[in-house]
Structure 1
Amino acid sequence: MENEEGTAIPSEPQTKATEKVNEVIDGKIDWRGRPARRGKHGGVNTCWFILVSFGLENVASLSLAVNLITYFTVTMHIDLADASNALTNYMGTSYIISVAIAVFADTFIGRYKSVLLSAAVELLGLLLLTMQAHKPGLKPPPCNIFDPTAHCHRIEGGDAALLFSALYLVAIGSAGIKASLPVHCADQFDDTDPKEAVQMSSFFNWLLLSLCVGGAISLTLLVWVQNNKGWDKGFAVSTGSMFLAFVVFLVGVPWYRIPVVRGKNALLEIGQVYVAAFRNRKLILPGNPEELYEISRMKGSAEAEEFVPHRDQFRFLDKAAIPAPTDPPAEGGDNQPPQAWKFYRVTQVEHAKTVLGMLPIFGCAIFMSTCLAQLQTFSIQQGTTMDTRILGDHVKLPPATLPIIPISFMIIIIPLYDRVFVPFARRITGHRTGITYLQRIGVGLVLSCLSMATAALVETKRKKVAESHGMLDAIPVLQPLPISCLWLSLQYFIFGIADMFTYVGLLEFFYSQAPTPLKSVSISFLWCSMSVGYFLSTILVQVVNAATKNNTRSGGWLHGNNINRNHLNLFYWLLCVLSFLNFLNYLFWANWYKYRPQDKDDPSEDEKV
């Protein structure tokens, strides 16, 4: 069709499609501050820059998590229990700092700038680790810590300060990336667009897949380099991988959708609601919730307000939405803003209720990280005493590489789960994610309990082999036990599947249930639960050693460097029992929890999508 001037007039569908592609996305800009447009910014293609960067960062950092215990004990001559605590403290700090960085990013600099700054900090820490591992004068002289007659000097003084300064720089940088990068990737999708909403539903699964691929490279290539070519070369490869992650992320900057930084501290506002509720505790709640304070929806207002309906849960917090009798009514009525620390809108109170309701689920997720900490510390030490040969005498599998077994399985099963199981389960259950977030978390908690039971049985078998061959005092480096380290793959395999369910389930749960202003911080709830779990592991090891020091010849179940004389199997059984009790506690809170009204899975909505 042509107009009077002979110019072609596009058909109506083409016009709408063009407008859709060039549509301005509300609340998001590009790196120059111009409005972000659909088709030019964000989407699946842009996400690849972020996922590749996340995988490369995991290449650099995961080898530290699984092999650092060996570096501490063999190279730095730190006792096993102290080395285990040092590693869990390092991991715990990395995760807990992510909450503070998430708040800082959302309030001041934005998420993509936070990623760039955090990557630079982690890169500096890795450079310092490489330098110390390369310079003989910055570490203790070589010594066989497994020889009881040897007097090995533990790292101390300035050298110890350099070691832990470098490690905690890596921890801070890694925390910033974990806090900001996943949510920055989620920012590339618009959940109000049906097509992008479906793509976003798979995002967390692909995020885990990128971590697994990066982890597989780290557990094979980097661990092999660390153990066979030297720690300095291993840290140098980690540094190179981190630099590449920085470059890949930087290349994608022109195509990112970047949320506008509002300068509001959402966590502070939540805390203010709690304070206001306490200050107004003597006020009487109105019988009709509609009498609570709320700003009226104003058509044509310059800034759209978010509205969350009132719920009959945590009613004591509703007192934060009651203006004090001494406060004169503001001119203009309900359209005036609330008064800080005194009273707030119902929507803001509902945000505070949501966060409070999520805390029990957060608490139940903590203990699973405590179990994970043991697989990154004591299980690695188990592997150092066992026969690491596979495929005859041709290949040796470093103990730190054992997690490659569950990770390899996860690389295969995650795409199958996302592309086969979820669509199939969606037709049966009507839920967008196949099974609910809480069901997915529960499956992971059950499997973590089974993993600890398996670990206890394997350790019992390993000790029986050492005892039957008279090798309780054998030096692992010189005389490994005649039992294959592949036995440890059983506990890693079960826990790997548990991690797939719980890790993604928690990410989806926290992100979907958190109030809009807390979407970024909500991802940090997962890292924070892992952090507390690692710190709990440190405390648990110390408590167990203190409680059993008079009942064992070794001075405690986990005391000393001779794992053959320790009672690690009993410690694993203790973790199994505690994990089961934690699961029972989780069942209670999962049944009690009520999803946010606007986030409930609606089969009719699935059909529309």
Structure 2
Amino acid sequence: MGKMRKVKVGAEDPVLSYIESDKYTDYKGRMVDPRKHGGLRAATLACVVEIMTSTVTLCNGVTLVDYFLKSMHYSVSDSSIMVTNFLGTSYLVSIFWGFISDAYITRFTTFVLSGVSELMGLLMLTYQSQNKNLQPPENQTPSYTQAVFLYIGLYGTAIGVGGIKATLAAHGADQLDQTNKPLISSYFSWYFFSICIGALLATGGMVVIKENYGWSTSFQIMVLLTSLALCTFVSGFSLYKYKRPSGSALSRVIQVILYFVLVSSVRNRKVSNAGNLDHEATAGLLARDQAHEKLKFLNRALMDNKVTIAQIKETKSFLGLLPIFATAILMNCCLAQVLTFSVQQGSLMNRTVYNFTIPTQVLAVGPISISIISIIIFEQFKKGMNKNNNNSSKFYQPLVRMGMGLALVTTSMFIASIIESKRVEEFKNGNTISVFWLAAQYILLGLSDTLTMGGMMEFFYTEAPESMRSICTSLTWCSSAMGLFMSSLLVTLSNSVSGRFGMEWFGGKDLNHSRLDLFYALLCFLNFFNLWLYIYFAKKY
């Protein structure tokens, strides 16, 4: 039997000490003074900045379809795909920025660089909206030069949005006492509240401005808001705590996996409790990590002297988050329906209230308003429970909230299927039902969004390794991106498969001649299965 490898414990492992270091510095690189640096003031700045950046991002998501369609003369399908790709790219690229801010530069620097990228992109879009030479003539698609200018501005904006999403939430949480878990939990609730306020301003305010004053004015306001967000964020530079980068965590994770595969592939080297590892020392080190019982097979990588205990902990923590991340994608696929089919449903329903017609784009305000109200109620209820010293409620745990959110989105798709079936039936009878029939699915989707997205941000931040908090927080936005792409994929697949049986679900000229009710039923079934998968992974975690 081979020689047992001794594992150093505690601060004697320099890599462990470096990776797990929770020391923060001020902007000059000195140790922070809790009386001067960080705290609620610094965290509040992050929430204020998020309101402005979310307003810009979601305004683009809501209004760019019309801009591509009416000013740039793309087709309806191309315009919709372009917006989906824009939002999807914005959220997916957050992983790249998260990696950069964890490994090489501070979150503050990452935010500033990405904010400048978004501002430059918006300036290009603003200039194009005002310059007729950069717009195609009537009934013509853009020239090569016009399209290149558009795409550079569009994806410069997307790259910037990704960096802001990757860093701002984690930067704000960094300012707080990491041992005060209730405070961290409340921070993420109010951070999500800021996102919802931005969404409300975008759908309820910016849409109206665009309709009355045009895209040029809308773009100018977005440039102003982005500039103000950058200035507001930078103004707190002397107040912030800065977490120093710890090198490429992904490289360390990949190294552990590669050495595990290498060690496992050598058949004549068998690992047992009495084998080549000092398991007692290993268990002592890993006992501080709540995930040390999971993924024990990765301990085999310690047989190679190049792998440290710190890397094993880091790898286990990161890989343990991925199943939870995967089960959140389908929920975001359902939320994507609010921006697409639910709005189209509303346009075919009776939207008149006391001689006032509700604008179609404003219908998305419904679930957003529900999210805002539910966050306020949730935080007030939690505050009351804390005053009664009842901190043991499992309801506040992120995994429980996420599970409740996934259950609600399943229910919302079931109700949406029934309501759509009734709407089409009434249409065939010559009647038009009220848009308020959509209230039930909007309420459930709003509550689901609050519980799931808020819980995800808190969960990925608090459970992430110290060295990977930006990239793990970015998983929240990656699930949103994949949800958008999955929505488009499911529509295409369901249309293709149903067409083989005689009728495409979305083959009609509008939703009155389509089978959206069956598509919602499909989403309900998929979400029900996904919910059980989530429960399994959450219990394993």
Change (3 A) 1:404 1:97: same
**Which residue of 1 is the match for residue 242 of structure 2?**
258
Change (3 A) 1:309 1:221: closer
Residue 253 of structure 2 corresponds to residue 270 of structure 1: yes
Aligned residues: 517
**Which residue of 2 is the match for residue 495 of structure 1?**
445
Q: Residue 245 of structure 2: SS of its match in structure 1? A: coil
8 Å Cα contact 1:121/1:170 also seen in 2: yes
Residue 29 of structure 2 corresponds to residue 33 of structure 1: yes
Identity percentage over the alignment?
32
Residue 127 of structure 2 corresponds to residue 131 of structure 1: yes
Which of 445, 451, 458 is the matching residue for 2:412? Answer: 451
Q: What is the distance in 2 between the residues matched to 1:485 and 1:159?
A: 40
- CA offsets, 1:378-429, max 9 Å, x none? 2223333444433x23x44322222222322332331321232365289697
**Which residue of 1 is the match for residue 294 of structure 2?**
313
Alignment of 1:278-357 (within 5 A): 278-281=261-264, 282=266, 283-287=269-273, 291-292=278-279, 308=289, 311-323=292-304, 338-339=305-306, 344-357=307-320
Residue 477 of structure 2 corresponds to residue 527 of structure 1: yes
Structure 1 stretch displaced more, 570-579 or 65-74:
65-74
Q: What is the distance in 1 between the residues matched to 2:25 and 2:143?
A: 50
Structure with a larger share of its residues in helix: 2
**Which residue of 2 is the match for residue 473 of structure 1?**
none
Q: What is the distance in 2 between the residues matched to 1:241 and 1:96?
A: 23
Q: Counterpart of 1:564 in structure 2: which amino acid? A: N
Q: What is the distance in 2 between the residues matched to 1:561 and 1:153?
A: 24
**Which residue of 1 is the match for residue 536 of structure 2?**
588
**TM-score w.r.t. length of structure 2:** 0.87
Q: What is the distance in 2 between the residues matched to 1:127 and 1:464?
A: 48
Residue 239 of structure 2 corresponds to residue 243 of structure 1: no
**Which residue of 1 is the match for residue 112 of structure 2?**
116
Residue 497 of structure 2 corresponds to residue 547 of structure 1: yes
**Which residue of 2 is the match for residue 173 of structure 1?**
160
Q: What is the distance in 1 between the residues matched to 2:411 and 2:453?
A: 17
Alignment of 1:179-258 (within 5 A): 179-192=166-179, 197-258=181-242
Quote how far apart the aligned CAs of 1:518 are. Answer: 1.5
Residue 341 of structure 2 corresponds to residue 384 of structure 1: no
Q: What is the distance in 2 between the residues matched to 1:161 and 1:354?
A: 42
Change (3 A) 1:53 1:512: same
- CA offsets, 1:22-43, max 9 Å, x none? xxx9622222323221111110
- CA offsets, 1:292-315, max 9 Å, x none? 5979999xxxxxx99648834323
Alignment of 1:6-17 (within 5 A): none
Q: Residue 403 of structure 1: SS of its match in structure 2? A: helix
8 Å Cα contact 2:413/2:524 also seen in 1: yes
Q: Residue 36 of structure 1: SS of its match in structure 2? A: coil
Structure 1 stretch displaced more, 228-237 or 159-168:
159-168
Q: Residue 35 of structure 1: SS of its match in structure 2? A: coil
**Which residue of 1 is the match for residue 16 of structure 2?**
none
Which of 493, 500, 524 is the matching residue for 1:576? Answer: 524
8 Å Cα contact 1:423/1:434 also seen in 2: no
Q: What is the distance in 2 between the residues matched to 1:396 and 1:164?
A: 35
Q: What is the distance in 2 between the residues matched to 1:489 and 1:296?
A: 53
Q: What is the distance in 2 between the residues matched to 1:101 and 1:566?
A: 41
Q: Residue 24 of structure 2: SS of its match in structure 1? A: strand
Quote how far apart the aligned CAs of 1:270 are. Answer: 0.8
Q: What is the distance in 1 between the residues matched to 2:348 and 2:42?
A: 46
Q: What is the distance in 2 between the residues matched to 1:158 and 1:465?
A: 49
**Which residue of 2 is the match for residue 53 of structure 1?**
49
CA RMSD of aligned residues (A): 3.0
Structure 1 stretch displaced more, 429-438 or 535-544:
429-438
8 Å Cα contact 2:249/2:468 also seen in 1: yes
Q: What is the distance in 1 between the residues matched to 2:435 and 2:63?
A: 15
Q: Residue 583 of structure 1: SS of its match in structure 2? A: helix
Change (3 A) 1:449 1:108: same
Change (3 A) 1:271 1:129: same
Q: What is the distance in 2 between the residues matched to 1:135 and 1:388?
A: 36
Q: Counterpart of 1:566 in structure 2: which amino acid? A: S
Quote how far apart the aligned CAs of 1:455 are. Answer: 2.7
5+ residue gaps in structure 2?
Answer: 1-20
Q: What is the distance in 1 between the residues matched to 2:44 and 2:116?
A: 21
**Which residue of 1 is the match for residue 14 of structure 2?**
none
Quote how far apart the aligned CAs of 1:251 are. Answer: 1.2
5+ residue gaps in structure 1?
Answer: 1-24, 143-151, 299-304, 324-337, 470-480, 594-609
Q: What is the distance in 2 between the residues matched to 1:238 and 1:130?
A: 9
Which of 93, 98, 123 is the matching residue for 1:97? Answer: 93
Which of 83, 102, 110 is the matching residue for 1:106? Answer: 102
Quote how far apart the aligned CAs of 1:141 are. Answer: 5.3
**Which residue of 2 is the match for residue 163 of structure 1?**
150
Structure number with bigger Rg = 1
**Which residue of 1 is the match for residue 331 of structure 2?**
368
8 Å Cα contact 1:313/1:353 also seen in 2: yes
Q: Residue 392 of structure 2: SS of its match in structure 1? A: coil
8 Å Cα contact 2:333/2:483 also seen in 1: yes
Which of 362, 366, 372 is the matching residue for 1:405? Answer: 366
**Which residue of 1 is the match for residue 9 of structure 2?**
none
8 Å Cα contact 2:125/2:219 also seen in 1: yes
Q: What is the distance in 2 between the residues matched to 1:219 and 1:362?
A: 28
Q: What is the distance in 1 between the residues matched to 2:70 and 2:226?
A: 25
Change (3 A) 1:525 1:172: same
